[in-house]
Amino acid sequence: MLRPNNDMKSLIKVFAFAVPLAVTTGVVATVLLAAPAQAKILGGAVKGITVTQKNTNIYSALSVQMTWCVPNGEQAGDTFTLGLPPQLIALTKGFPLNDPSGKNVANATVAGGLATFTLTAYVATHRDVCGTAHFDEAFNVGAVQANTPTTVQFASGNTVFSAVITPRQVIAKRAKAIKYGSWADATDEDRISPSGALHWLMDSPQAPAGGYSKVVFTDTSGPGQAFDCSRLNLSIGTVNAVGGFQNGVAVDKSHYLTQCSGSAVKVTASTLVSRGKVMHLYLPTTVTDSTLPAYTDSGSVAVNGRPAQSVTAQPILRTSAGGNGVGTLNALRAVVKSSPVAATTVPPATATKTAAPTATKAATIAPTSGGATPAALAVTQGVEAVAATAPPTAVALAAGTLAATGSRSQTLLELAFGAIALGSLAMFAARRFRRAPRGH
């Protein structure tokens, strides 16, 4: 018999220590098992770069195309990057990369001269994941020299891709009127705000000696846009070495008459334009149809009552950005589930590989004291699994969809750690009590 005053107290102390230890052990196991993998930056994912000039003009866009592949076993949140050359300005802020079925493989963000590609959970369930990406860039006019071959470099990890491009610039002939246009923000176009997203501009001929005192502008917008009449303005300025308008000074509104609708404008100005200067009409325009790939505009300019000169601008094109990716789905895994069986009549289990009773490897499933039969009836001995009564149901799941079974396995591991702790302390207590002197 245990002595109530000593042995029982000792036993209580042991279990008072053992239970918290077992719980703590399970908690530690949970923390260790649940620790998430850290996202990492992948080197060498970009495999190739091609740069294509859509137009030789220094103000036109260039197209950058790239190919990429990532190693197997990567996780959601892992990234790879592409450093962009300072001579170019990216005309996108980001885009998704999807597989042919529309599943998102990665997402690209572009900022500060760096394109970052962030992988999604797609790479955890697929192998041999590769793809392409493309986006437009423009010349950084302040960082290149016109009509001179320029080497641009793209960097991905330790790999550098080089290309030679030549920004062409033709000196504008200012003896005639000209018309041109651009996006107000080429990186956004009209995605955030279509209001004033397009800028159309028209210049009168450069004034000869003696200048001129009357200029009439007419302008007609193409489809999918509307002039913002309230923001129209007129100015007079000079021409730089390559024919660009500069040093504009606003014309007082009392010196010109405006007739403006959403699709047509007429401006009649009566003021002196001195020798060597031009009059400059600025027309901000709102996009009304964002589905169009390009926007057009045309007009005319008449000076001092002479016949009008017709002018048509180069279309303003939408920039392009996008990409794709695809991989092979990882091999499927089988998860075995078993059905509970009523505790009333449980026949002896029969081996699946032989009819001889002596060869059976099935365990006998006995009801518990409460009359219920354990639900898990599959018993593994050696390398064979034998079903006691109800056959197991096999459910095929993709490798990336095993979260439920994973959480059950984690719980079992927690219980195992706790059981080990309790068992060790129980053995320690038993030894101590066996050594304790007994009363008579």
Q: How far is CA 392 from CA 79, 339, 375, 388, 399, in A?
A: 42, 7, 11, 10, 20
Q: Angle CA(57)–CA(91)–CA(314) in degrees, nearest 5?
A: 40
Output the pLDDT for position 206.
96
Q: What's the CATH code of the domain at 109?
A: 2.60.40.1280
Q: Last residue of some domain: 296, 329, 362?
A: 329
Q: Are 43 and 157 in contact (CB under 8 A)?
A: yes
Contacts of 387 (CB under 8 A, 6+ apart): 338, 349, 352, 362, 377, 378
Q: In what order do the strands lie in the sheet with 297-303?
A: 256-260, 264-273, 212-221, 297-303, 309-312
Residue spans of the chain under pLDDT 70: 1-37, 55-56, 332-440
3-class SS at 277? Answer: coil
For the chain, give the number of residues. 440
Contacts of 398 (CB under 8 A, 6+ apart): 125, 329, 330, 332
Q: How far is CA 337 from CA 40, 341, 398, in A?
A: 36, 13, 16
What gap in Å lies between CA 298 and CA 315, rounded to an integer?
10
Same domain, 344 and 306: no
Same domain, 260 and 214: yes
In a domain, 14, yes or no: no
In a domain, 146, yes or no: yes
Tokens of 335: 């998860």
Q: What's the CATH code of the domain at 276?
A: 2.60.40.2430
Q: Which helix (H) or strand (E) covers residue 139, if one does? A: strand 126-139
3-state secondary structure 291-335: CCCEECEEEEEEECCCCCEEEECCCEECCCEEEEEEEEECCCEEE
Same domain, 339 and 325: no
From the centroid of its chain, how far is CA 274? 54
Q: How far is CA 89 from CA 114, 124, 150, in A?
A: 11, 34, 15
Q: What is the DSSP letter of 38?
A: P
Q: Last residue of some domain: 301, 329, 357?
A: 329
Same domain, 312 and 339: no
Output the pLDDT for position 38.
83
- Exposure letters 91-101 (e unless 16+ CB within 10 A, then b): bbebbebbbee
Strand runs labelled E in 212-263:
212-221, 225-227, 233-239, 245-250, 256-260
In a domain, 13, yes or no: no
Q: What is the DSSP letter of 405?
A: H
307-345 pLDDT per residue, tens: 999 999 999 999 889 999 999 999 865 554 555 544 444
Q: CB count, 10 Å around CB of 306? A: 12
In a domain, 64, yes or no: yes
Same domain, 197 and 306: yes
Q: Count of domains in the chain?
A: 3
Same domain, 325 and 353: no
Same domain, 347 and 277: no
For residue 111, give its domain range.
Answer: 46-169+321-329
In a domain, 430, yes or no: no
One DSSP character per residue, 379-392 reads EEETTEEEESSSPP
Q: Last residue of some domain: 329, 353, 374?
A: 329
Same domain, 233 and 310: yes
In a domain, 427, yes or no: no
Q: CB count, 10 Å around CB of 214? A: 15
Q: Are 271 and 260 in contact (CB under 8 A)?
A: no
Same domain, 259 and 362: no
In a domain, 15, yes or no: no
Same domain, 274 and 194: yes
Q: Angle CA(60)–CA(61)–CA(63) in degrees, nearest 5?
A: 150
What gap in Å lies between CA 2 and CA 13, rounded to an integer?
14
One DSSP character per residue, 49-77 reads EEEEES-SBTTSEEEEEEEEE--TT--TT
In a domain, 2, yes or no: no
Same domain, 105 and 203: no
What gap in Å lies between CA 65 and CA 82, rounded to an integer?
12
Same domain, 230 and 164: no
Among candidate residues 48, 41, 321, the one with its CA nearest the CA of residue 160? 48
Residue reference for tokens 């918290």: 20
Q: What is the DSSP letter of 6?
A: T
61-69 and 79-83: which strand pairing? Answer: unpaired
Tokens of 107: 């997402």
